[in-house]
């Protein structure tokens, strides 16, 4: 067979990206338009997340630990510098 110039596309599953973000800072956008920044310390199959040292975009107050309901998460942005 002849080789083509097409690159092999590596498939990355969404949960793999989240798994690689454990222990790192993430930005989480909720369906309510709230934004949370914090260190991801865990998640489950429903994408419920536990964040540590969390701040909300509208508030400078830091929350030590927070559990976010995966059903209300609209977007997760991994590896951010806050």
55-75 pLDDT per residue, tens: 999 988 999 999 999 999 999
Largest Cα span, the chain: 61
What CATH code would you report for 20-78? 2.30.30.100
Q: How far is the CA of 62 from the CAs of 5, 13, 31, 51, in angstroms?
A: 50, 31, 21, 11
Lowest mean pLDDT among 4-8, 15-19, 21-25: 4-8
- Lookup: tokens for 9: 């596309």
Helix (H, G, I), strand (E, B) or coil at 51: strand
Residue 42 pLDDT > 80: yes
Can you give the residue ranges of every domain in the chain?
Answer: 20-78
Structure confidence at residue 6 (pLDDT): 59
């Amino acid at each position: 067979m002849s080789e083509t110039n097409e690159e092999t596309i590596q498939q990355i599953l969404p949960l793999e990206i989240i798994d690689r973000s454990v222990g790192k800072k993430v930005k989480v956008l909720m369906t309510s338009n709230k934004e949370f920044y914090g260190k991801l310390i865990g998640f489950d199959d429903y994408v419920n997340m536990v964040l540590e040292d969390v701040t909300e975009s509208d508030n400078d107050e830091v929350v030590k630990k927070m559990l976010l309901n995966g059903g209300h998460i609209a977007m997760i942005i991994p590896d951010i510098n806050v």
